[in-house]
Amino acid sequence: MAGASKAVNDSRANLPFVYRQYNAEQLRNVLYKMYLIRRFEEGAEECYTRGLIHGTMHLSIGQEASAMGICMPLSEDDQITSTHRGHGHCIAKGAEVKRMFAEFFGKTTGYCKGRGGSMHIADVGKGNLGANGIVGGGIPIAVGAALSSKMMKTGKVVVSFFGDGANNEGAFHEALNMAAIWKLPVIFVCENNGYGMSTSTARSTAVKNIAERAAAYSMPGVIVNGNIFSEVAEASNKAVERARAGEGPTLIESKTYRHRGHSKSDRNRYRSKEEIEDWMSNRDPITLFESELREFGFIDDKGIEAIRGAVAQEIADGIEFAKASPSPDVRDTGDYVYTEQA
Amino acid sequence: MDAMVRELSYAQAIQEAMAIAMDMDERVFLMGEDIGVYGGAFQVTGDLVDRFGTERVIDTPISELGGAGVAVGAALTGMRPIFEFQFSDFATLAMEQIVNQAAKMRFMLGGEVSVPVVMRFPAGSGTGAAAQHSQSLEAWLGHVPGLKVIQPATPYDAKGMLLAAVADPDPVMIFEHKLLYKMKGPVPEGFYTVPIGKADVRREGRDLTVVATSIMVHKALDAAAALEAEGIDIEVVDLRTIRPMDKQTVIDSVKKTSRLMCVYEAVKTLGIGAEVSAMIAESEAFDYLDAPIVRLGGAETPIPYNPELEKAVVPQVPDIIAAARDLVRGVR
Ligand SMILES: Cc1ncc(C[n+]2csc(CCOP(=O)(O)OP(=O)(O)O)c2C)c(N)n1
Ligand SMILES: [Mg+2]
């Protein structure tokens, strides 16, 4: 998602950040990708329900603006660490859905050759250092990647995505402190969807806003509405600039909501139907972005239809690709445990 | 069937044991992630929060190291916590408190204290949860003096051994295979205990001793039933406790059958199979052996996501049948 361009049109001067920063094609591409994330997860869910995919999965439906907004100022070389709820991050960082579906189907053409599944999905070639089955597991790894960037002078910025639940793991605190003392080019992105599984942040976390924890590690703590693409992208832009300038880390708290249950085994007993309904009908990130695009004249109904149609086609093709791909040979269970050496 | 005995699932049996323990002793309480209104990731605590309240069924933040440490501290000072890890894999985040603190505190302080904490670990593969949610790490903890480590294989034992664990003055680690949670079996009502440190001969036989743990006990019994038709008579020993190990039961069995095979899901090398084999090699049973000892364990790999690969990396019934047949017929 590189290539932020200068404002093309003075009449946009009063519009929110992204409409000044990016051109119409870039913005329409963001909408495309948000739909791609949404439809990918709906498609995966349906395949799961039909028994085509096993295991479990954690859907980020409702959090698409957060993934897209954060990745907007990143170049392909920049890196991310992701979470168990990582499909959106993966697509936002440039992965192809067909190889993601193939992974879910356990096929050799999948990003992890069928070894990782949903919880470990990543296109490493696009700078994604991995989804993670361990809550908070990716946070110190991102700091390590940022240390590499500094030592190797690559100029790469690293983003660590994690949830609100992860901010109560020791790894979060240890990692933020090191990033701060060494002024590393890393951005900590807490996607606060209100719950870690069934446990609300009010019950799990001593501070009201996770961004407040930035103060303990002497870095900026920024709160954004994670369902408004422009707000997220603006905060990410600032944090990326700061990181590239060698000024150190930022903690961004992106407040959002997951529409679906935690995983496939959630009875949703810890939150009300009304609450879920409210977020789905009144604060859906795709609906919000789409209406802004329309209102500001970046797209019309025909354009939206075209995007939806193209996304549906990419999803259908992706599932077909996954189904037609070969399964790994059971004799190859020893592969990838260690690095192959000549 | 006795009126007092019902069919319960393994998960229900554990839940009943925890409820009995809490009813009997006010010091007993539960801690873990999402064990309250969610009922636990595997619904083991279920609705206990409705009965005992949030003061005694405590949802912790996602903080395994801190949470386990809090349980250790509470146990050290008079309470009787039962701490649930959401998956046994997350024990790795809490190793410090388990291995350096809980296990050694009594020893380091010269016997002045004890740490009666119980920790529960949903373990094992077979659910498609991939490499970080499917491990069998019991031998890690089995390596630590000061801990007791158990692996009940049936609902009956799950209840009785949990009640024994709560009554035990020292830290007891319980590994529960996730695929066992729905398995049903007879469970008596009310309080009873099954001793920690005692193996159980699940099936008597002449030709071969199979020492198995956890879910492998059931697979070994299935294999034994299949081999009966071929005239091969297998004795299945359910180890039940890996530390302290019931050596005598295994020795006696091997002296009777003259052959030993160990079957366990954890990675084959440096594990339970090595321990049982070496123990036999060091014992008087060694002279009775008619064949080399065989270990069937997990492949030397993390657990893969793909379901066929996932099955292929842990021993299955046909693997046990084939290995047992070869061993008894002298192919090995
Ligand atoms: C160390 C660790 N503890 C517990 C879990 C089980 N678990 C997986 S996701 C999750 C909730 C995470 O909440 P949060 O960080 O807010 O992310 P969200 O699921 O809301 O995206 C839990 C408890 C885990 N995977 N790893
Ligand atoms: Mg959350």
- Taken in order of first residue, the domains within chain A and their CATH numbers are 14-89+102-324 (3.40.50.970)
Contact B37 A134 (CB under 8 A): no
What is the per-residue pLDDT for A342?
A: 81
B228 as an active site residue: the answer is no
pLDDT in tens, A202-248: 999 999 999 999 999 999 999 999 999 999 999 999 999 999 999 99
Q: Which positions ≥6 away from B43 have C-beta within 8 Å?
A: B11, B181
With both helix axes pointing from N to C terminus, report the angle between A24-49 and A64-71 in degrees, rounded to the nearest 10. Answer: 140
DSSP state letter for B25: -
Interface predicted TM-score of the whole assembly (ipTM), two decimals: 0.95
pLDDT digits (tens, 9 = 90+) for B250-263: 999 999 999 999 99
Nearest to B85 by CA among B161, B41, B32, B40: B32
The pLDDT score that the predictor gives to residue A224 is 98
DSSP B100: I
Closest by CA to B208, choosing from B287, B298, B320, B315, is: B320
Write the pLDDT tens digit of every residue in A137-194. Answer: 999 999 999 999 999 999 999 999 999 999 999 999 999 999 999 999 999 999 999 9
Contact A330 B132 (CB under 8 A): no
Chain A residue numbers with beta carbons less than 8 Å from the beta carbon of B313 are 333
| End-to-end C-alpha distance for chain B, whole angstroms | 44
**B184 close to B222: Cβ distance less than 8 angstroms:** no
Measured CA to CA, the distance from residue A88 to residue A59 in angstroms comes to: 9
| Integer Cα distance of B14 and B6 in angstroms | 14
Beta bridge partners of B122: B176
In this predicted structure, the answer to whether residue B272 has a pLDDT above a threshold of 90 is: yes
Q: What's residue A3's pLDDT?
A: 45
Residue nearest to atom 20 of ligand 1 (CA): A196
Helices B10-24/B155-167 angle, 10° precision: 30
How many Å apart are CA B213 and CA B82, to the nearest integer?
23
Distance (angstroms) between ligand 2 centre and the Cα of A134 equals 13
Describe the crossing of helices B215-228 and B317-328 by its angle, rounded to 10 degrees. 50
- Residue A6: pLDDT band (50, 70, 90) is very low
Give the pLDDT confidence of A8-61 residue by residue, as tens digits.
556 788 999 999 999 999 999 999 999 999 999 999 999 999 999 999 999 999
Q: Which amino acid is at A69?
A: G
Using an 8 Å Cβ cutoff, are B123 and B178 in contact? yes
* Residue B12 CA to ligand 1 centre (angstroms): 25
Q: What are chain B's domains?
A: 7-188 (3.40.50.970), 200-327 (3.40.50.920)
Q: Please list every residue in chain B whose beta carbon sits closer than 8 Å to the beta carbon of residue A136.
A: 62
**b/e for A2-30, b at 16 or more Cβ within 10 A?**
eeeeeeeeeeeeebbbbbbbbbbebbbeb
Give the closest ligand to the alpha carbon of residue A62: 1
Q: Which of B16, B64, B265, B275 is catalytic?
A: B64
Q: Is A337 helix (H, G, I), strand (E, B) or coil?
A: coil
Quick one: pLDDT at residue A2? 45
Cα A37 to its chain centre, rounded Å, is 10
Ligand 1: which of B86, B132, B137 to mutate, most ligand atoms within 8 Å of CB? B86
Mean pLDDT, residues B296-323 = 98
From chain B residues 14-73, the ones with a CB under 8 A of any chain A CB are: 33-34, 36-39, 41, 59, 61-66
* Residue-wise pLDDT tens digits, A289-327: 999 999 999 999 999 999 999 999 999 999 999 999 999
Q: How far is the CA of A163 from the centre of ligand 1 (A)?
A: 7
CA separation for the pair A127, A158 (Å, rounded): 9
Task: Identify the pLDDT of residue A9.
Answer: 53
Residue-wise pLDDT for B25-75, tens only, equals 999 999 999 999 999 999 999 999 999 999 999 999 999 999 999 999 999
What are the backbone angles phi and psi of residue A179, rounded to the nearest 5°?
-60, -35
Q: Does B302 touch chain A (CB under 8 A)?
A: yes
Active-site annotation holds for B133 = yes
Ligand closest to the CA atom of residue B65 = 1
* Confidence label for B331 from pLDDT (cuts 50, 70 and 90): confident
Residues of A in contact with B84 (CB under 8 A): none
Instruction: Report the SS3 class of residue B156.
Output: helix
Quick check: B3 pLDDT over 60?
Answer: no
